[in-house]
Amino acid sequence: MDTDVLIVGAGPTGLMLACQLARRGVRATIVDRHAGPARETRALGVQARTMEIYAQLGVVGRALELGKKGTGANIWARGKWMARLPLSDIGGGLTPYPYLFILGQDDNERILGERLRALGSDVAWNTELTGLAQHAEHVIATLKLPDGATREVRCAWVAGCDGAKSAVRELNGIGFPGAPYEHVFFVADVEATGGMKPDELNVYLWKDGFHLLFPMRGENHWRVVGILPEALKGKEVGFKDVEPSVRGEAGADLVFQGCSWFSTYRIHHRAATRFREGRCFLLGDAAHIHSPVGAQGMNTGLQDSYNLAWKLTLVVQGKSDARLLDSYDAERVPVAQRLLRTTDRAFRIIVSDSEGARLLRTQVLARIAAFAFRLRPVRRFAFGTISQTGIHYRESALSETKPGLLDRSPRAGDRFPWLKLKFSPGGPVEDSFQRLDDLNFHLLAFGQHVSAMHKHFQVHSIPEDPHNAKELARASIPAKSYYLLRPDGYVGLAGTKFESGAVERYLSTRMGLAS
Ligand SMILES: Cc1cc2nc3c(=O)[nH]c(=O)nc-3n(C[C@H](O)[C@H](O)[C@H](O)COP(=O)(O)OP(=O)(O)OC[C@H]3O[C@@H](n4cnc5c(N)ncnc54)[C@H](O)[C@@H]3O)c2cc1C
């Protein structure tokens, strides 16, 4: 083999997969047809689940240095300030990153690229995938090299992280059903002053649509997103052309000093009919695209990579049966389909031309949002959904919950909650996300002692202690229970009384791990 995994595309999805494979010691090659990293900001919202993964990857400090915490969202309707939704601690207690984080896609790609180089790998730019031939034991990929010559590369697996027009998807004949929305959107990075609340998200709702102003790094730097006015559709336009409509709806006192990037785009909502064909996988925009409502796109691609990386590692290293890889498609297709449904519903309300939707936008939405945000369950539900910490794989073949747990306890398929625990009697209180790395399986045993010697997982027998008891009660974890965590932090197996045989059976039958 020339390489074990060929990663096609060095956007955020491909870079994340390359980093995850490199740190696990898997031989991977990453190629991109462009000459270098994209310069456009595009995605801006980094969700808490992504920040958790960045922490495991050792880049969260760099992200915090370059980005901004979104402390609140201000809703304006017909030019009047209506409500502020506090966001700085909306997910308090659920994650070390309980806010929406604002960091441009270009910075995310820079951080991931730096990490990849530190791990001893790099992107082969100006290198395009043009052909694929699948065989029983390998794939032959045809690459067009920077000098125009072609080269055939023999690899065990191909990861299509090559965006919405994915060659990997098309060469495999995988459908991408869906449709474009009729509206055309614009996006602009500007320098501006005005009545908007500084350093916070400002949402301007008006009868024909919306304008969003996101604070960006640097003084008076804002990202403006909106619907292109009907009269400008189909024309060559620049920011100067949309400025009157933004000023008209978002405030006449807005003064724009400059615009560093302007683009218009049509949004589609589509999902690939399957995310795997033989030895080829689809991840990120190659697998699913949808409206930018909720800032989910880039984050979902990063989670696709995180889901696939540890599974590919076990298979490439000969520790697991290749059947483990079936769970990538089985776990990630439902996530993408749910995302398409929810973003589509939210988006239609925001852009609908119907009289009811106009009234909802300008008269009702801000009031409902402000009221609902005062209710803790609503805040928590909204945070779990948007931050992607609430995503679960309960239906997956890799998830097994034994009888005896409480209905409200974390179950197999859930992201194991963030806890502060004493891991040894009389020891310090530790952050579970820092203590448990993402390169191994971990067994957490509560209220029982488990011998520390196991081939496939690290054991943590958590001592009985008043601090731990309080923390377990907070997370609805029974005092006597055990949780086997997969490397990506999801619960694989959960039960009350630990039995070594049950865990071994789970690992061999469900994970395909050789005993
Ligand atoms: C205006 C805008 C705003 C957005 N806002 C948000 C947001 O706030 N939050 C969010 O989460 N998402 C947002 N998104 C979506 C986000 O930008 C995408 O989801 C994200 O870029 C997907 O990353 P990716 O790596 O999967 O694909 P891409 O970023 O498209 O990367 C694909 C890469 O593959 C390469 N490639 C393609 N074909 C080949 C080939 N044949 N051979 C080799 N290389 C190839 C391309 O050159 C490219 O570098 C936004 C998108 C837009 C357009």
Q: Kindly report the protein residue whose alpha carbon is nearest to atom 30 of ligand 1.
A: 163
80 pLDDT higher than 90: no
Phi first, then psi: give them for residue 396, nearest 5 degrees: -70, 150
Name the residue of 19, 42, 158, 165 to mutate for ligand 1: max ligand atoms within 8 A of Cβ. Answer: 42
**What's the Cα-to-Cα distance from 471 to each of 105, 395, 419, 428, 484, rounded to whole Å?**
36, 27, 7, 14, 18
Query: How far is the centre of ligand 1, averaged over its atoms, from the C-alpha of 245 (Å)?
Result: 28
What is the pLDDT at residue 197? 92
Q: Please report how many Cα atoms fall inside a 13 Å half-sphere around the Cα of residue 480, on the Cβ side.
A: 8
Top-confidence residue, 295 or 490: 490
What is the pLDDT at residue 375? 87
The atom of ligand 1 lying closest to the CA of 283 is 26
**What's the Cα-to-Cα distance from 424 to each of 294, 431, 467, 469, 475, rounded to whole Å?**
40, 13, 12, 14, 19
pLDDT in tens, 431-458: 999 999 999 999 999 999 898 778 899 9
Query: How far is the centre of ligand 1, averaged over its atoms, from the C-alpha of 267 (Å)?
Result: 13
Cβ-contact 362, 77 below 8 angstroms: yes
Share of the chain above pLDDT 90, in %: 71
What is the pLDDT at residue 433? 98
SS (H, E, C) 76-108: EECCEEEEEEECCCCCCCCCCCCCEEECCHHHH
The whole-number average pLDDT for the span 204-220 is: 85
The atom of ligand 1 lying closest to the CA of 38 is 49
Q: Kindly report the protein residue whose alpha carbon is nearest to atom 9 of ligand 1.
A: 295
The atom of ligand 1 lying closest to the CA of 12 is 25
Query: How far is the centre of ligand 1, averaged over its atoms, from the C-alpha of 53 (Å)?
Result: 19
Torsion of CA 373, 332, 444, 403, to 10 degrees: 90
Query: How far is the centre of ligand 1, averaged over its atoms, from the C-alpha of 285 (Å)?
Result: 6
Query: How far is the centre of ligand 1, averaged over its atoms, from the C-alpha of 144 (Å)?
Result: 21
The atom of ligand 1 lying closest to the CA of 47 is 11
Query: How far is the centre of ligand 1, averaged over its atoms, from the C-alpha of 57 (Å)?
Result: 21
Residues 6+ apart with CB under 8 A from 40: 105, 106, 261, 263
> Largest Cα–Cα distance of the chain, in whole Å?
71
| C-alpha span between 290 and 294 (Å, rounded) | 10
Share of the chain above pLDDT 70, in %: 100
What is the pLDDT at residue 447? 96
Gyration radius of the chain over CA positions: 24
Pocket of ligand 1 (CB under 6 A): 8-14, 31-34, 42-45, 105, 128-129, 161-163, 167, 187, 265, 284-285, 292, 295-299, 301
Lowest mean pLDDT among 40-44, 58-62, 226-230, 510-514: 40-44
| C-alpha span between 69 and 86 (Å, rounded) | 12
The atom of ligand 1 lying closest to the CA of 296 is 11
Cβ-contact 140, 279 below 8 angstroms: no
Q: Kindly report the protein residue whose alpha carbon is nearest to atom 38 of ligand 1.
A: 162
The whole-number average pLDDT for the span 160-174 is: 98
Top-confidence residue, 54 or 377: 54
Can you list the positions of beta strands (E) in 53-177?
A: 68-70, 72-77, 80-86, 100-102, 123-124, 128-134, 139-144, 150-160
Angle at Cα 315 formed by Cα 311 and Cα 316, nearest 5°?
Answer: 115
Q: What is the DSSP string of 179-193?
A: EEEEEEEEEEEEEEE
The whole-number average pLDDT for the span 218-228 is: 90
Query: How far is the centre of ligand 1, averaged over its atoms, from the C-alpha of 307 (Å)?
Result: 18
| C-alpha span between 359 and 205 (Å, rounded) | 10
Name the residue of 162, 184, 261, 268 to mutate for ligand 1: max ligand atoms within 8 A of Cβ. Answer: 162
The whole-number average pLDDT for the span 350-375 is: 76
Query: How far is the centre of ligand 1, averaged over its atoms, from the C-alpha of 108 (Å)?
Result: 12
pLDDT in tens, 388-433: 999 999 999 999 999 999 999 999 999 999 999 999 999 999 999 9
Name the residue of 47, 116, 298, 391 to mutate for ligand 1: max ligand atoms within 8 A of Cβ. Answer: 298
| C-alpha span between 254 and 251 (Å, rounded) | 6
Name the residue of 31, 32, 101 to mutate for ligand 1: max ligand atoms within 8 A of Cβ. Answer: 32
| C-alpha span between 129 and 140 (Å, rounded) | 11
Name the residue of 7, 17, 31, 33 to mutate for ligand 1: max ligand atoms within 8 A of Cβ. Answer: 33
The atom of ligand 1 lying closest to the CA of 15 is 25
Cβ-contact 29, 7 below 8 angstroms: yes
The atom of ligand 1 lying closest to the CA of 166 is 38
Query: How far is the centre of ligand 1, averaged over its atoms, from the C-alpha of 105 (Å)?
Result: 9
Name the residue of 100, 201, 285 to mutate for ligand 1: max ligand atoms within 8 A of Cβ. Answer: 285
